[in-house]
């Protein structure tokens, strides 16, 4: 018996899609890459190695890493974010999604209700707009120039929304290689946008999917890396302007060569002097090995040769106190200097004892029972 389920469709259901036939000769619809650039061989090797190492965990949802995604992968992402975007990130702050649109769906489910507004760039990624409208919300586009969203226009748009009684929930941006204009927002412009958003407690959704397509120079830091409220600043431009760090990074004008020089000195003392220096790389890009793969260098200075008795120690104490007084990114994790973690660990273990793993306790208990000895770790 035939039946018709279309009567159960929602009233504003989209029209059915036409059957796909083939890509056009010149296809500008999707962000496709050159197929010849896909490293299929190395990818296959990596997949094979991963399956051999952890294939059995595929039997378990979450692969024993939990619902946020495979832990080693999240660790790699956190390291990449720190290295490329200057965002201090831990694996616990990373959620693996199927792409930016799934991430947007999760954000929208948290933020948006029918009638809400999202501020977007006037020229914007169509997929994001579709997702916003799908939640019963709407978007307002803000004019762009060669540097991205114009702060004055953003201020005007926010003012107009407020006057109209509209609730603006967040700001959606693609500031690095913007889609579709390909502009890269400068650090100065990012700080202006961030200041406007912070003044209104407005969240920023930064879509960073194209940031690796920069052809020259380094990419600017992410918005989160620029947030000074508890976030460490590692970008050389910001550090130099704020006078918060010594100029050991960035370009030559800001002392980048100094950091390179210090790194070279470490290599000379710990590798070349000790005979552990690797002379170049092999055909697979790995450092060549020598007969002495590990080098150590110890250097001692007598402070009395250059300072009056006690002056060096007093200055060191003041410097350590200053470092420890630095406002931490996480209030529960105060800034510590070399040796502080070990001192705290020693104090805690002196007070509470040395922690012993449950498995080791049970193994020790079994040995004691086999030997007829009294078990004292209970």
Query: pLDDT tens digits for 218-258?
Result: 788 899 888 866 433 444 444 444 433 444 444 444 444 45
Least confident of 127-141, 279-293, 310-324: 279-293
Give the CATH number for residue 179. 3.40.640.10
Q: Is residue 201 domain-shared with residue 283, that is, in the same domain?
A: no
91 within domain boundaries: no
Angle at 327 between CA 323 and CA 333, to 5 degrees: 90
Q: Could you give the angle at which helices 100-111 and 126-134 cross, rounded to 10 degrees?
A: 30
Domain edge (last residue) among 221, 242, 263:
242
Q: Which domain does 277 fall in, by range?
A: 247-299
Q: Is residue 238 domain-shared with residue 263, that is, in the same domain?
A: no
Top-confidence residue, 245 or 292: 292
**Residues 4-9, mean pLDDT to the nearest whole number:** 86
Q: Is residue 252 domain-shared with residue 199, that is, in the same domain?
A: no
17 within domain boundaries: no
Top-confidence residue, 244 or 44: 44
Q: Is residue 149 domain-shared with residue 219, that is, in the same domain?
A: yes
Q: Which residues contact 192 (CB under 8 A, 6 or more apart)?
A: 151
Please tell me the total count of domains within the chain: 2
Give the separation between CA 54 and CA 47, rounded to whole angstroms: 10
Six token digits for residue 271? 């590798």
Domain edge (last residue) among 299, 319, 336:
299
**Residues 157-185, mean pLDDT to the nearest whole number:** 94
Q: Is residue 283 domain-shared with residue 206, that is, in the same domain?
A: no
Whether 154 and 189 have beta carbons less than 8 Å apart is answered as no
Q: Is residue 143 domain-shared with residue 275, that is, in the same domain?
A: no
pLDDT in tens, 84-104: 888 888 899 999 998 888 999
Least confident of 125-129, 204-208, 268-272, 311-315: 268-272
Q: Is residue 226 domain-shared with residue 155, that is, in the same domain?
A: yes
Give the separation between CA 339 and CA 74, rounded to whole angstroms: 29
**Residues 191-213, mean pLDDT to the nearest whole number:** 89
Q: Is residue 251 domain-shared with residue 264, that is, in the same domain?
A: yes
148 within domain boundaries: yes
On the CB side of 64, CA atoms within 13 Å amount to 7
pLDDT in tens, 310-351: 888 888 888 888 888 888 877 888 888 878 888 888 888 898
On the CB side of 31, CA atoms within 13 Å amount to 11
7 within domain boundaries: no
Q: Is residue 138 domain-shared with residue 229, that is, in the same domain?
A: yes
| CA neighbor of 145 nearest in space, from 161, 122, 126, 170 | 122
Rg of the chain over all Cα atoms, to the nearest angstrom: 28
| CA neighbor of 164 nearest in space, from 113, 206, 231, 117 | 117
46 within domain boundaries: no
Top-confidence residue, 64 or 76: 76
The partner residues of 119 in beta bridges, in order of sequence, read 140, 171
Residue 260 clears pLDDT 70, i.e. is over it: no
Whether 122 and 141 have beta carbons less than 8 Å apart is answered as yes
Residue 348: count of CB within 10 angstroms of its CB? 12
Fill in the DSSP letter of residue 272.
I
Residue 287 clears pLDDT 60, i.e. is over it: no
Residue 174 clears pLDDT 90, i.e. is over it: yes
Q: Is residue 236 domain-shared with residue 263, that is, in the same domain?
A: no
143 within domain boundaries: yes
266 within domain boundaries: yes
- Please provide the average confidence, as pLDDT, over all residues in the chain: 82
What is residue 352's predicted lDDT score, i.e. its pLDDT?
Answer: 86
What is residue 280's predicted lDDT score, i.e. its pLDDT?
Answer: 55
What is residue 236's predicted lDDT score, i.e. its pLDDT?
Answer: 44
Least confident of 67-76, 179-188, 260-269: 260-269
Residue 226: count of CB within 10 angstroms of its CB? 21
**Residues 133-137, mean pLDDT to the nearest whole number:** 94
Residue 141 is inside which H or E element, if any? strand 138-142
Domain edge (last residue) among 202, 220, 242:
242
253 within domain boundaries: yes
Q: Is residue 173 domain-shared with residue 267, that is, in the same domain?
A: no
Give the separation between CA 313 and CA 304, rounded to whole angstroms: 10
Residue 291 clears pLDDT 60, i.e. is over it: no
Q: Is residue 238 domain-shared with residue 252, that is, in the same domain?
A: no
């Amino acid at each position: 018996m035939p039946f018709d389920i279309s009567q159960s469709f929602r009233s504003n259901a989209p029209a059915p899609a036409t059957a796909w036939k083939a890509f056009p000769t010149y296809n500008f619809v999707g962000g496709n890459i050159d197929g010849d650039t896909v490293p299929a061989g190395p990818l296959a090797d990596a997949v094979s190695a991963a399956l051999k190492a952890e294939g059995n965990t595929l039997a378990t949802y979450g692969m024993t890493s939990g619902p946020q995604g495979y832990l080693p992968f999240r660790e790699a992402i956190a390291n990449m974010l720190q290295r490329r975007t200057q965002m201090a990130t831990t694996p616990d702050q990373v959620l693996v999604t199927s792409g930016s649109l799934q991430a947007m769906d999760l954000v929208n489910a948290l933020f948006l209700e029918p009638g809400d507004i999202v501020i977007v760039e006037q020229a914007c990624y169509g997929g994001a707009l579709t997702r916003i409208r799908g939640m019963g919300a709407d978007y307002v586009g803000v004019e762009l120039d060669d540097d991205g969203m114009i702060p004055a226009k953003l201020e005007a748009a926010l003012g107009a929304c407020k006057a109209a009684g509209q609730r603006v929930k967040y700001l959606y941006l693609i500031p690095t290689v913007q889609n579709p204009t390909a502009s890269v927002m400068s650090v100065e412009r990012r700080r202006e946008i961030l200041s406007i958003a912070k003044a209104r407690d407005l969240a920023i959704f930064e879509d960073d999917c194209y940031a690796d397509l920069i052809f020259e120079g380094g990419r600017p830091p992410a918005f989160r890396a620029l947030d000074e409220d508890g976030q460490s600043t590692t970008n050389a431009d910001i550090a130099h302007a704020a006078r918060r760090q010594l100029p050991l990074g960035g370009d030559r004008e800001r002392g980048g060569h100094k950091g390179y020089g210090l790194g070279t000195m470490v290599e000379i003392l710990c590798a070349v002097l000790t005979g552990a220096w690797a002379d170049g790389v092999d055909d697979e890009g790995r450092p060549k090995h020598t007969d002495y793969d590990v080098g150590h260098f110890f250097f001692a200075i007598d402070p009395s040769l250059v300072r009056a008795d006690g002056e060096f120690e007093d200055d060191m104490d003041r410097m350590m106190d200053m470092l420890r007084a630095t406002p931490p990114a996480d209030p529960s994790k105060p800034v510590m200097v070399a040796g502080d973690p070990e001192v705290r660990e020693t104090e805690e273990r002196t007070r509470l004892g040395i922690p012993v793993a449950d498995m080791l306790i049970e193994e020790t208990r079994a040995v004691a029972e086999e030997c007829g000895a009294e078990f004292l770790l209970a």
